[in-house]
Structure 1
Amino acid sequence: MSKHSCILLVLAILSASKIVTAQSKVIDKVAAVVGSNIILQSEIEMQYAQYLAQGNKASSDFKCYILQQQLTQKLLAQQAAIDSIEVGEGEVDDNINSRLRYMSSQAGGQERLERFLNRSLLQYKEEMRPSIYEQLKANKMQQNIVSGIDVTPLEVKRYFGSLENDSLPYFNTEVEVGELVVYPKLTREEKQQFRDRAEDLRRQVAEGADFATIARLYSQDPGSSPYGGDLGFNTREGFVKEFSAVAFRLKPGELSPVFESEHGFHFLEVLERRGEEVRTRHVLIQTKPTSASLQRSKTHIDSIHSQVISKKLDFYTAATMYSDNKETKYNGGMLLNMENQQNRTTLIPTDKLDASVFTAIDTLQPGQYSRPAQFTDQMGKTGYRFTYLKSRTPPHQANLNQDYAKIKEAALDDKINRKLSEWFEGRRKVTYININEEYHDCDDLKIWLKDAEKIEPVAAQE
């Protein structure tokens, strides 16, 4: 999805949210009661409006799903309160700030976001706080329920044996791939033209030119230049270290000197300070590789490639020492399958590989290396890289010998899901639950309705 599409999506969501908020004052009603807590119809309509704003088709089933998720969260949060599970104010603030940073960046800055919300971000943060607090408590409660759960090799074997042959998953070709990347390094003299350009633009602002206009016309940061360079409020962690060092040293209204980061040459102005957050705007002039710097990179990576091919240097050591790809160099250059954030693996289905990486390894045999070649990464940086094919696993039906790690993960998920199901079943049987008749036909809610009438409302207050 393009950045412009993302912005339109966020604005559509915010617009839909405003409409629902206005309507809820008139049409709001109770959708369900869980213990001593209520779920309002407006909460469901808000999430449903966001669902529609993402381009999905109207579906009453999705409202059922939203209510089922709300019921689950309420049960977990109530038990968290009973078990004295605490969520610190700092945790809530960090979560809210992270959400608002994302929303601000996608909406095009704090001011645009506040216009669409029809309220200040400070006001919106306070409105969000109870909901985020409950979500975090529910998450901690769920983690407590399943903490310490693991599976033994025997349980993995039993789980696999319980699967029907015709239900065994079929895995496409998977590969283990490494890459060593070298980006051009510019000399001080080669960088000077870009610094001079940034210095000239800063001089114009210092002499009275409008900062926002200069940023719109000349800044090479596509995310902020359309909005006058405005980056909204951010914590120190929201910027690269060089930017943070400057931004948090200045007072509101101060203009920084030109400074360098990995993105190029910047100068910035602090607009506001708010606690541990600062709102800034900046102008960026990106550095571009020269033909001489590209040639130096080519010579450097050719030398590394020759040492690896001749086995004077193993690939993992070479990647750790020389690769400029920060995401892979400390993993010996190996790419990771990012689909499962909790259990990352080096085995990657070929249909999930970047097209240029697939092309580089397509004709390689396991243990072979591609020739160094020029490429442009997703951020638009040009460099050189060569690729290493460690292994290629042909398409096959799941088996314990080849797929033990995946089967273990599935067995663990199954055990966790069964534990959670048992917990929810037990809590539903002793918690007063009343669901509005409008939702009684929802398949997702049948199990919640099963025992609801057997529990007296007074049980919620005990």
Structure 2
Amino acid sequence: MKFTTKLYLLAFAFISLTAANAQITQQDSTLVITDKDNLTREIEKKIDSVKPFVRRKADGIAAVIGDYLILDSDITKMREDAEVQGVSSSEISNCQLAGRIMENKLYAHHALLDSTIFVSDAEITSMSDQQLSRMVSQIGSLDKLLEFYRKEDEQALRDELFKINKERRLASAMQEKIIENVEITPEEVRVFFDKIPEDERPKFGDEVEIAQLVIKPEVPKEEEDKVVAKLNDIRNDIVNEGSSFATKAVLYSQDATSSKGGQMTITREDPLDKDFKQIAFSLREGEVSKPFKSQFGYHIVQLDKIRGQQLDIRHIIMIPQVTSATVEAAKTKITEIREEIVSGKITFDAAARKYSEEKETRGDGGQLINPQSGDTRFELTDIDPLIYDKVNNLKKGEVSLVLMDQTRTGQKFFKIITLTERYPEHIADYSKDYTKIKELALREKQFNAIEEWQTEKISETYVKINGIYRDCDFNSNWLKN
């Protein structure tokens, strides 16, 4: 098998696992690019192609894996989903799709049998609610979404999303357990690299290392005091006057959860502000916290229910506002700092350590860490289009003009960027690209561990393949020949 083909299969095998682990706190959201319009375009094309009241053949059973049925329509739906994500129909066969679904069912089946794996309904409900909100927002209409999924009403769609998400979460939890203790040594990385033929070694695209210096407009104390006073009034209405926390959240909270009455399900492992988690986990059921500060603003939190290691909470966040005067002062300050750097009075590294107000990067001279790889390199194609030109046109050591950005909660700040290193497109080099090669080697070892687990579990699990799928040449021994 060609190395590039094997890399593709590794990536395909780890789609669900990667999605499950994607909740990473990013130091700078401007360095991540997502195609926000592709899903909408593809779904709309699918909807246009669906003719109402078309008579469909009876849905047959393609396979049975443990306690799970796989219907012919499941395979059809997976193909449609793949096409929405940009995969051509000619690139993947029904046999490959069936094999992938059977793997997911096998993981989910054994996750249910494993007493150490727990997936709560509350977690899945919260996940499905957020997913539905995103999809409606992207496509613009619940009716279009219902038509695409061929559902009669919103509840039917919610039930379908819950079923899909619970099975996927179980499958990914099982995968995580299989590979949780898989580690790799430097010698294994070397052996992995050496066995790749020179003409098949991967090519890495243009990469850059970036540092940034951030200055935030100061929030006047009187603005903070106003927010705290308002949250105290809201808390008093809830605790002493019997007002609804959910209603207050809808009216006053300044984040995306406000539309759901501030509702969240959290665990201690979630990448949330540490002060927020500490307060939430110190509450008793029904208790409402006093106002407290996090890195995002001021909050009050109510604990609704404790579910094992998870909490069902509601929260309200209010964000003190900067003034035009403090915004202008911040812009003036960073402009003066930039002039000091450009004139050679201070290095960018020293200036970032001295002045930057981004605590995550200040200690490293503003050096940014790629949240996807854990190293300092960013592929140019992964950088936000809004700053791509600013970075792409910089030479090593040059400093960008002052840029204005904003946090997830809409708070504006200013930054300057410098290019600390540039790596042109190149064939993988063991010494220069060790981190990336190690990741590939680890994935292969994890992939092999999963293959071994599959072989063992298929042999001891009830499996029945029906109809045309009995003629498939599966990678795994599903037919138990």
Tell me which interval the TM-score lies in, with the shorter structure as reference length: 0.5 to 0.7
After TM superposition, the structure 1 = structure 2 runs for residues 240-251 of structure 1, keeping only pairs within 5 Å, are 240-251=273-284
The 5 A counterparts of 1:38-437 are 40-41=69-70, 49=77, 52=80, 56=84, 64-69=95-100, 71-72=102-103, 89=116, 92-93=117-118, 99=124, 101-106=126-131, 136-141=173-178, 150-151=187-188, 153=190, 156-157=193-194, 159-163=196-200, 172-205=205-238, 206-207=240-241, 209-221=243-255, 223-227=256-260, 229-238=261-270, 239-302=272-335, 304-305=337-338, 308-309=341-342, 314-316=347-349, 318-320=351-353, 322-325=355-358, 328-329=361-362, 331-338=364-371, 341=372, 343-394=373-424, 396=425, 398=427, 400=429, 404-405=433-434, 408=437, 412=441, 416=445, 435-437=465-467
Judge conservation of contact 1:146–1:420 (CA < 8 Å) in 2. no
Q: In terms of Rg, which structure is larger?
A: 1
TM-score (norm 1): 0.65
Deviation of the 1:323 alpha carbon:
3.3
Q: CA shift at 1:176, angstroms?
A: 1.8
The structure that is helix-richer by fraction is 1
Offset at residue 226 of structure 1 (A): 1.8
Are the counterparts in 2 of residues 74 and 138 from structure 1 also a CA contact under 8 Å?
no
Cα deviations by residue, 1:177-231 (Å, 9 ceiling, x for unpaired): 111112223242242233344344445555455544333233322x22222x231
412, 425, 440: which one pairs with 2:470?
Answer: 440
Deviation of 1:369 (Å): 1.5
For 1:15, the equivalent position in structure 2 comes to none
Secondary structure, in 3 states, of the residue corresponding to 2:399?
A: coil
Compute the RMSD of aligned alpha carbons.
Answer: 5.2
**Cα 1:104–1:47 shift into 2, 3 Å:** farther
Distance 1:211 1:55, change over 3 A: farther
Secondary structure of 1:234's match?
strand
Task: Using the TM superposition, give the Cα deviation of residue 254 of structure 1 relative to its aligned residue in structure 2, in angstroms.
Answer: 4.1
Q: Percent identity?
A: 23
Tell me the CA shift for residue 173 of structure 1.
Answer: 3.5
- Report how far residue 106 of structure 1 moved: 4.0
Separation in 2, partners of 1:218, 1:67: 48
CA distance in 2 between counterparts of 1:213 and 1:327 reads 35
Q: C-alpha separation between the residues in 2 aligned to 1:414 and 1:213?
A: 47
Q: 1:351 to 1:321 in 2, by over 3 A?
A: same
Q: 1:312 to 1:45 in 2, by over 3 A?
A: farther
Per-residue Cα deviation, 1:98-149 (whole angstroms, up to 9, x for no partner):
65543344457xxxx9996669x9xx99x959x8667545544456677558
Q: Determine helix, strand or coil for the equivalent of 1:440.
A: helix
Displacement of 1:425 in angstroms is 11
Q: TM-score, normalising length from structure 2?
A: 0.63
State the Cα deviation string for residues 422-459 of structure 1 (Å, max 9, x = none): 858986998897532331354xx44446x9464xxxxx
Structure 1 unaligned regions, length at least 5: 10-25, 455-462
Secondary structure in structure 2 of the residue aligned to 1:358? helix
- Which amino acid counterpart does residue 63 of structure 2 have in structure 1? A
Instruction: Give the C-alpha shift of residue 152 in structure 1.
Output: 5.6
